[in-house]
Structure 1
Amino acid sequence: MHARSALFDLYGDHLEARDGQAPVASLVRLLDAVGIAAPAVRTAISRMVAQGWLEPATIGGARGYYATEQATSHLADAADRVYRRTARPWDGSWQLVLVEVPSGRATRSRLNADLTFLGYAELTDRVWVSPFPRSQLSSVLTRAGATARTARALDVDPPPISAWDLDALRAAYDEWLGSAPDLLRRHLAAHADPEEAAFAARFHLVHGWRKFLFADPGLPDELLAHDWPGRSAAEVFAREAERLKPASDRFVVRCLDG
């Protein structure tokens, strides 16, 4: 687990509900519980400040950081998709995005990753597709210095569903279902403090589940097979995340308070 992605998880899953801010000492303590060393945390914080995700602040007389507006929007969208909070009705049409690709390999790579994270897939060269419009598309394009034209279409060739590797996604959900119980057992047994154990187990559970943000755009249910394992995987994730949340939250409060 990288410190930067862990900080995104921490702000999105725990700190956004607490004014989106925390002292540095609390960030270090919380991520120490999931095996990330203090120097890595501080380095990641500096990079996220430079990238516009975090802003320095004085919190209770101590140095800390709060999530910027850019980060808050990103985290809210990700949280809706992680917890599958909104089952959006689908009208049968697809959003097509024709991207004018910016120069620079690193910029293009970052843009591709950001579009994938939002739930788009590349259908053909420069044409990205999603079953739903994504609210952060404009900000992602602006950050990359890119422009795009968008359209909604019912009949698309090749079929948009082909942009996603559903066989690989099915295998990934099956693997997650098989490994999740062992992951929880290992992390619950790794800490003597039951609240810290709950925090660590839930943190790793959520972190592992977030990988599906890049693989699963939240395709409409009517496009998926009746035995699609993503449904049962989502039920297991929601149940275990909710079960561990009270003790996990108490550990977060302890770290923030002191």
Structure 2
Amino acid sequence: MSAKNQLEQLVLNFQKKRPLRAGSLIITIYGDAIVPRGGTVWLGSLMKLVEPMGISQRLVRTSVYRLVQESWLQTEKVGRCSYYSLTGPGLRRFEQAFQHVYSLSTREWSGSWCLVYLNQLAPDLKQKVREELKWLSFGSMAPGVMEHPRFTRNELLPLLQEWGALEDTIVMETVPMEQKSSKALRLQVRESWNLDELGGRYRRFLSQFRPVWRELQNEDDLTPAECLTLRILLIHEYRKILLRDPLLPEELLPGDWEGRSAKQLCRNLYRHIYARAEKWLDETLENASGPLPGPNEKFYRRFGGLQDTSDENEERLTAVGEPV
């Protein structure tokens, strides 16, 4: 099956999902393609971008309306045209969610944990804060107590302020008192994040995208538009997994953790197709002033530095778990 056929299958699999969460896909598109280019795009450009994935103009309109109501997006009218960008809170939520997607390195773990106590919150606010923390990959240590090995108290306090929960939430950082990989900690981690389920998500991601990576090594005839569709689906599926992954320290992960191979595969595919995808974006996306500017410098630092990898072979082993 060619790379084109593999891409068609990925699109079909996406279209079969119910409910079809177009709003979530649009957030992925903003994070991956629009924010690096100034952050604002014409609604018509957005419609062209998602059309190959089977998302109708009507569904795009409905989805962006909901994202505005949920304070993710804001709109500006110029004549009869609508232009959308992330709000301030939406941009902060985006940065929290995307900060690990394009990073290859993870800072060394000190052994400390960030603990959040929610029992003093009113029931409705407690549920809201719990969902927000889960969205940031916090695990549930016990009823009313959330935990994370890398978040710090200072990082969390502004978010609690934004959610209206700062005064009635207790946030603590623990001091390491035992081995960082004790048996008790490993058992707690499995209970808090359900590593078996998370590992299964990574395995499904690998089974989805390994075939198209293999075919690209044999024959790569994807057009710029097809490369963009593949890139969006790749980052969208990977981002959804990372929302539930706290990126636990190596000391607490199984030796055969699937997340390592998933990261490498995502990096290899992205670096292989990004330049052609950017060509389509250059020619298609518009804001009120005309074509969107090119991607910023930060964009080119993704995955350790973007470059054409067509003649690089050293990365082709770990991404598929076998020699190419």
TM-score w.r.t. length of structure 2:
0.69
Query: Is 1:77 the counterpart of 2:96 in the alignment?
Result: yes
Unpaired runs of 5+ residues, structure 2, are 1-19, 179-183, 216-220, 292-324
| Matched pairs, number | 251
Which of the numbers 149, 157, 160 marks the counterpart of 2:170?
149
Q: Cα–Cα, structure 1 residues 143 and 133, in superposed 2: closer, same or farther, change >3 Å?
A: same
Aligned to 1:216: 245
**Aligned equivalents of 1:50 and 1:175: distance in 2?**
33
**Structure 2 counterpart of 1:219, one-letter code:** L
**Structure 1 counterpart of 2:135, one-letter code:** F
**Would you say the 8 A contact 1:95–1:151 is kept in 2?**
yes
**Aligned equivalents of 2:88 and 2:212: distance in 1?**
33
Q: Cα–Cα, structure 1 residues 62 and 196, in superposed 2: closer, same or farther, change >3 Å?
A: same
Query: Is 1:239 the counterpart of 2:257 in the alignment?
Result: no
**Would you say the 8 A contact 1:4–1:45 is kept in 2?**
yes
**Aligned equivalents of 2:222 and 2:257: distance in 1?**
37
Aligned to 2:73: 54
**Structure 1 counterpart of 2:203, one-letter code:** D
Aligned to 2:224: 195
- State the structure with more CA Rg: 2
How far the C-alpha of 1:172 sits from its partner, in A, is 2.2
**Aligned equivalents of 1:11 and 1:136: distance in 2?**
23
Aligned to 1:168: 197
Query: Is 1:177 the counterpart of 2:198 in the alignment?
Result: no
Is the partner of 2:123 in helix, strand or coil?
A: coil
Which of the numbers 118, 128, 133 marks the counterpart of 2:151?
133
Is the partner of 2:285 in helix, strand or coil?
A: helix
Aligned to 2:24: 5
Deviation string 1:131-160 (CA, Å, 9 cap, x unpaired) is 01257634543454333111112359x744
Aligned to 1:189: none
**Would you say the 8 A contact 2:199–2:257 is kept in 1?**
yes
Aligned to 2:142: 124
**Structure 2 counterpart of 1:91, one-letter code:** S
**Aligned equivalents of 2:265 and 2:79: distance in 1?**
38
The answer to which of 24-33 and 48-57 deviates more is 48-57
**Would you say the 8 A contact 1:199–1:249 is kept in 2?**
yes
**Displacement over 6 Å in runs of 4+:** 183-186
Instruction: Determine what percentage of the aligned residue pairs are the same residue.
Output: 27
**Would you say the 8 A contact 2:101–2:239 is kept in 1?**
yes
How far the C-alpha of 1:33 sits from its partner, in A, is 2.3
**Structure 2 counterpart of 1:210, one-letter code:** R
**Would you say the 8 A contact 2:210–2:265 is kept in 1?**
no
How far the C-alpha of 1:71 sits from its partner, in A, is 1.6
**Aligned equivalents of 2:254 and 2:273: distance in 1?**
31
**Would you say the 8 A contact 2:98–2:239 is kept in 1?**
no
Is the partner of 1:247 in helix, strand or coil?
A: helix
Q: Cα–Cα, structure 1 residues 140 and 252, in superposed 2: closer, same or farther, change >3 Å?
A: same
How far the C-alpha of 1:231 sits from its partner, in A, is 0.7
Q: Cα–Cα, structure 1 residues 20 and 40, in superposed 2: closer, same or farther, change >3 Å?
A: same
TM-score w.r.t. length of structure 1:
0.86
Deviation string 1:208-238 (CA, Å, 9 cap, x unpaired) is 1112123211111121122212111110111
**Aligned equivalents of 1:136 and 1:45: distance in 2?**
29
Aligned to 2:45: 26
**Would you say the 8 A contact 2:117–2:170 is kept in 1?**
yes
Taking the TM superposition and a 5 Å limit, the aligned residue runs for 1:86-97 are 86-97=105-116
Q: Cα–Cα, structure 1 residues 214 and 78, in superposed 2: closer, same or farther, change >3 Å?
A: closer
**Would you say the 8 A contact 2:97–2:243 is kept in 1?**
no
Aligned to 1:14: 33
Structure 1 vs Structure 2 CA RMSD? 2.8
Query: Is 1:45 the counterpart of 2:74 in the alignment?
Result: no
Q: Cα–Cα, structure 1 residues 185 and 29, in superposed 2: closer, same or farther, change >3 Å?
A: farther
**Structure 1 counterpart of 2:121, one-letter code:** V
**Aligned equivalents of 2:132 and 2:193: distance in 1?**
16
Which of the numbers 277, 285, 302 marks the counterpart of 1:248?
277
**Aligned equivalents of 2:281 and 2:196: distance in 1?**
38
How far the C-alpha of 1:22 sits from its partner, in A, is 0.2
**Aligned equivalents of 1:48 and 1:245: distance in 2?**
27
Deviation string 1:186-210 (CA, Å, 9 cap, x unpaired) is 9xxxxx9811111111111111111
